[in-house]
Structure 1
């Protein structure tokens, strides 16, 4: 099991890289759930990751980015995605408000057909719906690279919103169709052992690594290091 950490600055990227975090997620953590960082800041962070790769010969580091909680038009979504691919982002995360909208699906299908790695982000409520297995299978048929669940409101942790059995069913459904599956949403260090038992491909963190567990605050180095230490012991 790997860990994903959302970063919003070059300094945070340097911190998580030095700690050994393999999945680096670019996100504006000041508002929204999947708000996009500016292109200039995203470029600076991607360049930092590339430099680290060259200097350390590190392999297995993946850069992902969000493109916003909503989009006004197909052209806007196309720009948000392609502009980030051009600077070196490797995986794009799409919220359910976008990937499940029929208006965006022709564009998304084209991008998937070109081999773009997309992660479909589900809302917690979707994990409780009867049609979840069918939706996960549809994502696999469309050639999505991965699927994850993340909370939109960070006041409560994912484990306090979705029953453990539903999380287990989600992970199993995704793995049965070879989707790279992740769990995220207000997770803290205390949740690692519990969720690792479900064997997701990764757990996503932000607020639980920040001062006061407030995602808009900076990452705390000691918590990032403890995260990697705990995961290494378990996995």
Structure 2
């Protein structure tokens, strides 16, 4: 079943999203790029906050829009992992050395860090091309997203057939799968039949669909109602 991932920009939003029933809580700074990172000390505070709850959804954290330099990427993923989150998300860009970055993260994956690759549909002609390398390196998952938030949402860049092929290929490698990218409430009926492991939201959860604005509990409730609630066992 498909779960709901909510990207949150503050400790206050973390608590609101948890109370609103989000299945995965994604720590991301939307004002700092497609995968803007929280400061490491703030990630630690988020983890400490969540640990005080009787029940909690898994936490993921982005590492920022990094250059595809294997040393930089491996270092940032390792630092983020030590904060105690359940998943670390790394955006893979076509420029630089994305293949080298994936290979450099294999030791971190072997140490138990659950890494999720984020592939941008508005930058990669074939975002599935790296999936064999991602699986070989021991990543936990792979997802599609958009890098340019002003260039339209996921379905503007890829057809449902193209998304389905990516998901099928990722599943064949044993990877968790996700779809995101300026998703709207009315995108959900088209995407649920593709059965990704999760759908990721930020824009649709904010007042006025402003991804840099504050999370709106009413908007979250509408998305929660549209994505059947399921326990996350990934």
Q: TM-score, normalised by structure 2?
A: 0.88
Matched, 1:172 2:168: yes
Q: Which residue of 2 aligns with 1:2?
A: 3
The runs of 5 or more residues in structure 2 that have no matched partner are none
Whole-angstrom distance in 2 between the partners of 1:201 and 1:6: 16
CA contact (8 A) 2:154 2:183 kept: yes
Q: Which residue of 2 aligns with 1:96?
A: 92
Secondary structure of 2:13's counterpart equals helix
Whole-angstrom distance in 2 between the partners of 1:211 and 1:196: 24
Q: Which residue of 2 aligns with 1:68?
A: 64
Deviation at 1:204, TM superposition (A): 0.3
Whole-angstrom distance in 2 between the partners of 1:72 and 1:175: 25
Deviation at 1:105, TM superposition (A): 4.1
Whole-angstrom distance in 2 between the partners of 1:128 and 1:106: 21
Q: Which residue of 1 aligns with 2:78?
A: 82
Larger RCO, structures 1/2 (Cα 8 Å, 6+ apart): 2
Q: Which residue of 2 aligns with 1:146?
A: 141
Deviation at 1:207, TM superposition (A): 0.8
Deviation at 1:102, TM superposition (A): 4.3
Deviation at 1:225, TM superposition (A): 1.5
Deviation at 1:44, TM superposition (A): 2.0
CA contact (8 A) 2:29 2:38 kept: yes
Secondary structure of 2:171's counterpart equals helix
Whole-angstrom distance in 2 between the partners of 1:190 and 1:115: 37
Q: Which residue of 1 aligns with 2:17?
A: 16
Whole-angstrom distance in 2 between the partners of 1:81 and 1:143: 14
Matched, 1:202 2:203: no
Distance 1:126 1:174, change over 3 A: farther
CA contact (8 A) 1:34 1:69 kept: yes
Deviation at 1:10, TM superposition (A): 0.7
Deviation at 1:23, TM superposition (A): 0.7
CA contact (8 A) 1:127 1:166 kept: no
CA contact (8 A) 1:193 1:234 kept: no
| Aligned residue-pair number | 228
* Structure with the bigger percentage of helix: 1
Q: TM-score, normalised by structure 1?
A: 0.87
Deviation at 1:86, TM superposition (A): 2.2
CA contact (8 A) 1:118 1:145 kept: yes
